[in-house]
Amino acid sequence: MSRIFELPSSITELESLVILDLKACHNLERLPDDISSMKSLTHLIMSECCLLEGMPKGIEKLTNLQVLKGFLITTYEKTHCRVSDLLNLRKLKRLSINIGSEAVIKDGEFQSLGNFSAFTHVSIL
């Protein structure tokens, strides 16, 4: 089991990083707020990160993302990224969404998924 609770903010300085695999970091509670500076990311994998509080705004600016696993929908807060915010991710091919136990789902929350022509796989858990 991973003992990582929080990533160091300096990780966002790795602007050439292509894959950030955090799978099974069970204790990870949050991602860096300035994750948007990691513009080279093609894969962001957060599957099985059970304690994440939510997705920070800025993920929608990672326009090279092709794989986004473990995208978490939680309570509705302005500081969290939502499914509808992902429309700029035109290269996104694989998306897995986890709905948290306290999630607030707005009407039409998933309608924007129809705008992704590159999708080859979508799962909502």
pLDDT (tens digit per residue) in 80-123:
888 888 888 999 999 999 888 777 777 777 777 777 777 777 88
Question: Does residue 36 carry a pLDDT above 90?
Answer: yes
Q: How many residues does the chain have?
A: 125
Burial class (CB in 10 A: 0-12, 13-18, 19+), 120: exposed
What pLDDT, on the 0 to 100 scale, is given for residue 44?
97
d(CA 17, CA 41): 6
What average pLDDT does range 73-82 have in this prediction?
Answer: 79
The residue written with tokens 């948007």 in the block is: 36
C-alpha distances out from residue 42 to 7, 15, 91, 100, 108, Å: 19, 12, 9, 24, 27
- Separation of first and last alpha carbons in the chain: 22
Q: In what order do the strands lie in the sheet with 94-99?
A: 19-21, 43-45, 67-73, 94-99, 121-124
Cβ atoms < 10 Å from Cβ of 8: 9
Position 21 scores a pLDDT of: 97
pTM of whole model > 0.75?
Answer: yes
As a whole number of angstroms, the distance between CA 22 and CA 4 comes to: 10
At residue 76's C-alpha, the angle toward residues 88 and 66, to 5°, is 25
Domains of the chain as residue ranges with CATH: 9-124 (3.80.10.10)
